[in-house]
Structure 1
Amino acid sequence: METRKYWITTMQQIVKPVIDAASVGELKKRMPLEEVEGASRERYSHLEAFARTINGISPWLELEVDDPEEARLQVSFAEKVRQGIAYAVDPTSTDYMNFSEEGQPLVDTAFFAQAILRAPVQLWEKLDSLTQKRVITALKQTRAYKPHYSNWLLFSAMIEACLFRIGEKDWDSMRIDYALKQFEQWYVGDGHYSDGPAYHADYYNSYVIQPFLVDILDVVGEEYSEWQETRKVFIERAKQYALYQERLISPEGTFPPIGRSLAYRFGAFHHLANQALRGELPASIHDAQVREGLTAVIRRTFQSQHMFDENGWLTIGLTGHQQTIGEHYISTGSLYLAAFIYLPLGLDVHASFWKAPAEDWTAKKAWNDQDFPIYQSIK
């Protein structure tokens, strides 16, 4: 269990400043705002930090833990997250977050919604009734904005799936159906979707597209026979993209610095982590090699002495502090998508992901004279 303890330790290093500040209504007061000149992200960055942070740890918060030390930590974090939610949705709070001003809140309200879906007991059922009402108001406020013709369609769909899950009668099936149909049209083959009409060589199939498609259909897939069939297809494509992602991890635990949003660091493996959590890895790769590969990525990233500022907040960078990759939509809050690599902490300690003997991941096998399976494409 040493690997799991390492994951929990590094996870805490990332999320603790956000959770501690949010739990006392001081996220806006404490969190610095790093961004490129002229980005003006102060209206959005706090919801970004909070929603992405709680999403990454939500499966762990939902897990029943046997180990007393981990259980105490988990209970403390869960309570702090609920306190943070209460402040975030309270219009009278100084930490009230922006769920409605311009379009960006649609993105992180969707990450907030996905967190609820991943931890419905801890992040929904245990909220008091007033906070629940305010959460519903926050979710619905995003309906005022039309998503961009891209992965943003899935943000609207995720919010509606969450409303369905928590029992709201006026959930909008059309927003979900449109996103599903559009991504079927945007499928380009071998488990990859384009992000809009044109294909982008980046990690958005992992940051958003693949995890959102399968998680949305988990919630609403039984509502229409058409969605049931769609779900089967999307699940197989998701397995293929996981196969592809696992092979991106180099023997040293690095991965190609390709495409947009590299400041999300190892959040680039959101999809592979989610597939491990779901127990839907392709047959040719094993839980243990995914665990070892993702651990190598975490260790390699944490080698930098400049990943955090002097107060423990993430800095802009792929490894350390590399401001040149701070695009116009990137700020301190954005960076907490990195927490998504920790989704497998929601797996029981007795699951094979944690218990199976160590096994090298594919690239390490390939570059160390070991046998490894050839890559097989799908349509």
Structure 2
Amino acid sequence: MDRRKYWLHTMLTMANPVLDAVSEGKLKQNMPIEEHGSANRSNYSHLEAFARLINGMSAWLEQDTEDHEEAIIKETYAKKIRQGIAHAVDVASPDYMNFSEGDQPIVDTAFFAQALLRAPKQLCEKLEPAVRDNVITALKNTRSRKPHFSNWLIFSAIIEACLYELGEEDWDPMRVDYALKQFDQWYVGDGHYSDGPMFQADYYNSYVIQPMLLSLIEAVGDVYPDWLERKEGLIERAKQYALFQERLISPEGTFPPIGRSLAYRYGAFHHLANQVLRSELPESLSYGQVREGLTAVIKRTFQSDTMFDENGWLTIGFRGHQPMIGEPYISTGSLYLASFIYLPLGLDMSHPFWSDPDEDWTAKKAWNDTAFPIYQGANCS
């Protein structure tokens, strides 16, 4: 199986149980909820699963393809997702999702909003007017609560950016401004941001911070001159962090189990995948080596026979089923952030990511006595 077909196969394997259920309004009925002890995440887990999954699939949905077979598959899945959106935002549906109770919906409404920003043709323009109105209501429902003083500031900002893109006049630029200015303060150098006042060694620069800052500045950056002035700096920081991320992939296709939220599995490479999608890799990285490195990570993870339960739902774990790593905020729905690695499927097959010759990634070169460039740190201030 060629690389692209393998990526597509593994993405759809992950997606099928969620989309088959939600397209029929049966996600709440069918999805098991594995969680930490008595965490009681059942009020959040369904929106987590759906929003995170479609965000990872969004770039693939939006991109036209010359491959007839893949185009047919894509249209089938796009239709299921639009049906799922209709159920998720319809108060009369058995799959109406929680956009307004507790703090967690701020997070997953933001992932939902980012999916809409990444796939406006498929996930916005093709919605029925009533569904579109319900989507806007759902986005606004998160405003009743304030985000934590962390990466959550970007969640609130991206929701407002999506409302702006949907043509809502009452979008709130203050939430965007606050997020942009605060993360200026939290930049610590060499492509890394602190997630709040104290730096933590984890994957949140990739899970959330870098990709969402870029989505934010792309969506609304030209509204105010001082926002637009930040764009070039954000892009350079993102390139530097991509250089760092690629070196985390070991010669065997593993990566360090460091920090929080390890149950997101290879969603840890959201940022590197997003840089590929944006065609903004640093000059010293080839698309061929990044493709081979990310493919190795996917393959190494999929070799586990306990990554999914007997009905195809993701289980809590870093690779296979390892429930001990599930923090109190982790449940079955949370795990679908893993889909974010699949963003490069939004590139045409002629793009260098798919067409460049195979090349070893940096760590594999280093441990095979092959020449590789020294890591060049950067301030990117």
TM tier, smaller? over 0.9
Per the TM alignment, residue 65 of structure 1 is displaced from its structure 2 partner at its CA by 1.2
The aligned residue for residue 5 of structure 1 is: 5
The aligned residue for residue 227 of structure 2 is: 227
Per the TM alignment, residue 202 of structure 1 is displaced from its structure 2 partner at its CA by 0.3
The aligned residue for residue 96 of structure 1 is: 96
The aligned residue for residue 74 of structure 1 is: 74
Per the TM alignment, residue 225 of structure 1 is displaced from its structure 2 partner at its CA by 1.2
Q: 1:324 and 2:309 equivalent? A: no
The aligned residue for residue 279 of structure 1 is: 279
Per the TM alignment, residue 231 of structure 1 is displaced from its structure 2 partner at its CA by 1.1
Residue 5 of structure 1 aligns with an amino acid whose one-letter code is K
The aligned residue for residue 87 of structure 1 is: 87
SS at match of 1:370: coil
The aligned residue for residue 22 of structure 2 is: 22
Instruction: Give CA deviations for 1:140-199 in whole Å, capped at 9, x if unaligned.
Output: 000111000000000000001101111111111110000000000001110000000000
The aligned residue for residue 341 of structure 2 is: 341
Rounded to whole Å, the distance in 1 between the matches of 2:185 and 2:68 is 49
SS at match of 2:32: coil
Rounded to whole Å, the distance in 2 between the matches of 1:299 and 1:37 is 30
Rounded to whole Å, the distance in 1 between the matches of 2:350 and 2:22 is 32
Residue 109 of structure 1 aligns with an amino acid whose one-letter code is T
Range that drifts further, 73-82 or 160-169: 160-169
The aligned residue for residue 306 of structure 1 is: 306
Q: TM-score, normalised by structure 2?
A: 0.99
Rounded to whole Å, the distance in 2 between the matches of 1:228 and 1:117 is 18
Rounded to whole Å, the distance in 2 between the matches of 1:360 and 1:8 is 22
Q: TM-score, normalised by structure 1?
A: 0.99
Instruction: Give CA deviations for 1:66-97 in whole Å, capped at 9, x if unaligned.
Output: 11111111000000000000000000001000
Rounded to whole Å, the distance in 1 between the matches of 2:348 and 2:68 is 14
Residue 88 of structure 2 aligns with an amino acid whose one-letter code is A
Residue 183 of structure 2 aligns with an amino acid whose one-letter code is F
Rounded to whole Å, the distance in 2 between the matches of 1:286 and 1:174 is 39
Instruction: Give CA deviations for 1:318-345 in whole Å, capped at 9, x if unaligned.
Output: 0000011010000000000000000000
Residue 334 of structure 2 aligns with an amino acid whose one-letter code is S
Rounded to whole Å, the distance in 2 between the matches of 1:175 and 1:60 is 29
Residue 273 of structure 2 aligns with an amino acid whose one-letter code is A
The aligned residue for residue 378 of structure 1 is: 378
The aligned residue for residue 45 of structure 1 is: 45
Instruction: Give CA deviations for 1:275-305 in whole Å, capped at 9, x if unaligned.
Output: 0000011111011111110000000000101
SS at match of 2:15: helix
Per the TM alignment, residue 248 of structure 1 is displaced from its structure 2 partner at its CA by 0.2
The aligned residue for residue 64 of structure 1 is: 64
Rounded to whole Å, the distance in 1 between the matches of 2:36 and 2:59 is 33
The aligned residue for residue 352 of structure 1 is: 352
Residue 154 of structure 2 aligns with an amino acid whose one-letter code is L
SS at match of 1:188: strand
The aligned residue for residue 212 of structure 2 is: 212
Instruction: Give CA deviations for 1:100-155 in whole Å, capped at 9, x if unaligned.
Output: 00110000000000000000000000000000000000000001110000000000
Residue 338 of structure 2 aligns with an amino acid whose one-letter code is A
Residue 2 of structure 2 aligns with an amino acid whose one-letter code is E
SS at match of 2:229: helix
Per the TM alignment, residue 237 of structure 1 is displaced from its structure 2 partner at its CA by 0.3
Aligned residues: 379
The aligned residue for residue 132 of structure 1 is: 132
Rounded to whole Å, the distance in 2 between the matches of 1:148 and 1:275 is 27
Instruction: Give CA deviations for 1:251-279 in whole Å, capped at 9, x if unaligned.
Output: 00000000000000000000000000000
For structure 1, the 5+ residue unaligned runs are: none
Rounded to whole Å, the distance in 2 between the matches of 1:332 and 1:214 is 28
Rounded to whole Å, the distance in 2 between the matches of 1:200 and 1:11 is 30
Per the TM alignment, residue 36 of structure 1 is displaced from its structure 2 partner at its CA by 1.0
The aligned residue for residue 247 of structure 1 is: 247
Rounded to whole Å, the distance in 1 between the matches of 2:4 and 2:25 is 30
The aligned residue for residue 149 of structure 1 is: 149
Rounded to whole Å, the distance in 2 between the matches of 1:265 and 1:197 is 26
Per the TM alignment, residue 220 of structure 1 is displaced from its structure 2 partner at its CA by 0.7
Per the TM alignment, residue 57 of structure 1 is displaced from its structure 2 partner at its CA by 0.3
Per the TM alignment, residue 99 of structure 1 is displaced from its structure 2 partner at its CA by 0.3
Rounded to whole Å, the distance in 2 between the matches of 1:247 and 1:102 is 38
SS at match of 2:49: helix
Q: 1:199 and 2:199 equivalent? A: yes
Determine what percentage of the aligned residue pairs are the same residue: 69
Rounded to whole Å, the distance in 1 between the matches of 2:291 and 2:163 is 33
Rounded to whole Å, the distance in 1 between the matches of 2:202 and 2:311 is 31
Per the TM alignment, residue 347 of structure 1 is displaced from its structure 2 partner at its CA by 0.3
For structure 2, the 5+ residue unaligned runs are: none
